[in-house]
Amino acid sequence: MAEEIEPCTYVIFGATGNLSKLKLMPALYHLEVGNRLPADTVILASGRREWTREHWIGEVRKMIEAKARGGIDEKVFETFSSKLQYIQGDLHDPKAYEALNDRIMSESDYPKNIAFYLSIKPGDFGAVVENLSNATLFDEAHGWRRAIIEKPFGYDLESAQALQKRLHRFLSEDQVYRIDHYLGKGTVQNVLVLRFANVLMEPLWNRNYIDHIQITHSEDLGVGSRGYYYDGAGALRDMIQSHLLQLMALVAMEPPVSMDAESLRDEKVKVLKSIRTIPQSAVHAHAFRAQYRSGIVNGEKVNGYLEEGDIPQDSVTETYAAIKLFVDNWRWRGVPFYLRTGKRLKKGQSAVSICFKRPPQQLFKNTKIDQISPNWVLMGIQPEECMRMEVTVKEPGLTMKTRTTSMDASFRQEDEQSTDAYEDLLLDVIEGDRSLFLRYDEVSYAWKVVDPILKVWAMERDFINSYPAGSWGPEEARRMFAKEGQNWRHSLDIEDGTDG
Ligand code: BG6
């Protein structure tokens, strides 16, 4: 497989930073393990420190040792390290880009297809792209040139538009790879497979049969060392505007004409475009925010958000956000979508939970029968990777009693290894497959969805609700539910199903 792809020079800006350490370098190493990197690939790290290549290889070894699945494989690491290069340069210095260009163009073993990974502060995206362009590094005369932009793409709709305008002065849309790493997760891609490679569910996948849909990403971790970034972002921007709206688009979209990037993204955009605008006057009925205070997580006492590093004492940044959305189209009109995320919650888990309507008639009402539970389809994204369907069956015995049972379509078999989202995405860049990257219109419609909420919250600077770390978030968030009987689904297991 690796032989079929043309090699490239992967330039990583911010190569010594956290993302590179935790995700990018381990992902590239795992691609090497799987023999997916073309033999002549060069991975060129750009950093501010005056490091030699040997020093850099030593640093990468530490990153890989910490993350390699099953431990580092010395032979693979040797091949991998032969691909590693280092160049010192200041992001803000135009001369650094000339030096970069000279290095790549003058040395014959650097492939002239170049991918630039911008693992840097979002505020620097525009300037770095401009510098790259001025140094003719986006000129495709000698090979393709692609720029990978990490999230967040803008801070709100207006800043996203400004960033887009700036990028497009130097790059064409097909050179831009906007990352939403959620789309690289196998279980997220499996949503499409489950929906469109089976006929079982699709006829039921609409307002006639579905009562409501919940999309949850909960974390037991706090903000850790990312306080500075996080306090300026908050849960709505950090998770909902990007990852959860993308997941929602996959759940709600129409079947695409084909799986090519444009057909797929066209259908996602149609969903995002059909989400009913929340007027500022209705924000409180549709959105809820809160911040964690101290509490117990996994048996350990943890600090509240205001005690974390780099957080101002009067911060009202939300670490929990829940929103209710409606998709005004033929398929979904009237079905609430509840999107919820939070840090320092009881458990780290991502899932899509689909609650079906109850049968039209309670046929068993005169028999000894418990109240029949609705059917649920549960898609575990992480850490449990599963697709479960809860159905009602008769309890064995002489009385007509029912109970719920769960059918499980596992995503992964026991001997199959999991891969990280970044492996898939980094490989897609080399292969020129943009289907798992965001097109600008997706980003901009997603900002339109959250913008009214952000505006109202930005005005309300005096108070924010709180929840104890280790809980499932604030009780008050339940007020968003559209109907009696709807409630947060916290678990993929039957026993502790919804929390009443
Ligand atoms: C990132 C957010 O995009 O996604 C983080 O900035 C969040 O705050 C993370 O923790 C969640 O992704 P994953 O893949 O680690 O569950």
Reduced 3-state DSSP string for 280-343: HHHHHHHEEEEEEECEEECCEEECCHHHCCCCCCCCCCCCEEEEEEEECCCCCCCCEEEEEEEC
Q: Whose CA is nearest to atom 9 of ligand 1?
A: 239
**Angstrom distances, CA of residue 331 to CA of 207, 252, 281, 446:** 6, 8, 27, 20
Q: Is the CB of 219 under 6 A from ligand 1?
A: yes
**Residue 290, both tokens:** 């809160």
* Cβ atoms of residues 364 and 373 within 8 Å: no
Q: Which CATH topology does 2-150 take?
A: Rossmann fold (3.40.50)
Mutate to test the pocket of ligand 1, among 243, 246, 341 (most ligand atoms within 8 A of CB): 243
Say if ligand 1 is within 6 A of residue 420 CB: no
Ligand 1 midpoint to CA 147 (Å):
21
**pLDDT of res. 369:** 55
pLDDT of residue 364: 73
Q: 212, 217, 243, 490: which is the annotated catalytic residue?
A: 243
Distance, in Å, from the CA atom of 248 to the CA atom of 229, rounded to the nearest integer, reads 25
What residue segments make up the domains of the chain, in order of their start? 2-150, 183-480
Q: Which of the residues in the chain have pLDDT under 50? A: 1-3, 497-500
What gap in Å lies between CA 406 and CA 390, rounded to an integer? Answer: 4
- What spacing in Å lies between the alpha carbon of 470 and ligand 1's midpoint? 18
461 CB contacts (<8 Å, ≥6 apart)?
316
- Measured CA to CA, the distance from residue 321 to residue 305 in angstroms comes to 14
The packing angle between helices 25-33 and 421-431, to 10°, is 80
Q: How far apart are CA 403 and CA 171, in angstroms?
A: 58
Q: For 312-321, write each residue's pLDDT tens digit.
A: 999 999 999 9
231 lines ligand 1 (CB under 6 A): no
Peptide bond into 152 cis (omega under 30): yes
Residue type, 48: R
In angstroms, the Cα distances linking 311 to 12, 228, 232, 462, 474 are 29, 7, 10, 16, 21
Nearest alpha-carbon partner for 28 in 88, 83, 110, 85 = 83
Q: Which two tokens stand for residue 341?
A: 């995320």
pLDDT at 34: 95
What is the average pLDDT score of the chain? 94
CA-421 nearest atom, ligand 1? 14
Question: Which pLDDT does position 400 carry in this prediction?
Answer: 81
Helices 125-134, 94-106: inter-axial angle, 10-degree rounding:
50
Q: Name the closest-CA residue to atom 2, ligand 1.
A: 238
To test the pocket of ligand 1, the residue of 150, 180, 181 to mutate (highest count of ligand atoms within 8 Å of its CB) is 181
CB 339 within 8 A of CB 326: no
Strand-by-strand arrangement of the 386-394 sheet: 402-408, 386-394, 376-382, 349-356, 210-218, 336-342, 320-326, 287-293, 465-468
- pTM score of the predicted model: 0.95
Whole-number Å distance between alpha carbons of 376 and 408? 12
Q: Identify any residues that bridge with 214 across adjacent strands, giving them in sequence order.
A: 338, 353
d(CA 195, CA 277): 27
**Residue ranges in 23-171 assigned as alpha helix (H):** 25-33, 53-67, 74-81, 94-106, 125-134, 157-170
Ligand 1 centre from 467 Cα, in Å?
20
Q: Residue of the nearest CA to atom 4 in ligand 1?
A: 239
Report pLDDT for 83: 98
Q: How far is the CA of 18 from the centre of ligand 1 (A)?
A: 13
Q: Is 243 a catalytic site residue?
A: yes
Atom of ligand 1 nearest to the CA of 348: 16
pLDDT of residue 362: 77
To which CATH superfamily is domain 183-480 assigned?
A: Dihydrodipicolinate Reductase; domain 2 (3.30.360.10)
Q: Is 238 in the pocket of ligand 1 (CB under 6 A)?
A: yes
In this structure, how many other beta carbons lie within 10 angstroms of the beta carbon of residue 451?
18
How many angstroms is it from 280 CA to the middle of ligand 1? 28
CA 213 to CA 431: how far, in whole Å? 35
Q: Which stretches of 197-244 are assigned E, i.e. beta strand?
A: 210-218
From the CA of 91, how far away is ligand 1's center (Å)? 25
Beta bridge partners of 295: 302
Pairing relationship of beta strands 376-382 and 145-149 according to DSSP bridges: unpaired
DSSP 8-state code for residue 457: H
- Residue 98 token pair: 């000339």
- pLDDT at residue 1, as a whole number: 47
E strand spans, 125-282: 145-149, 176-178, 210-218
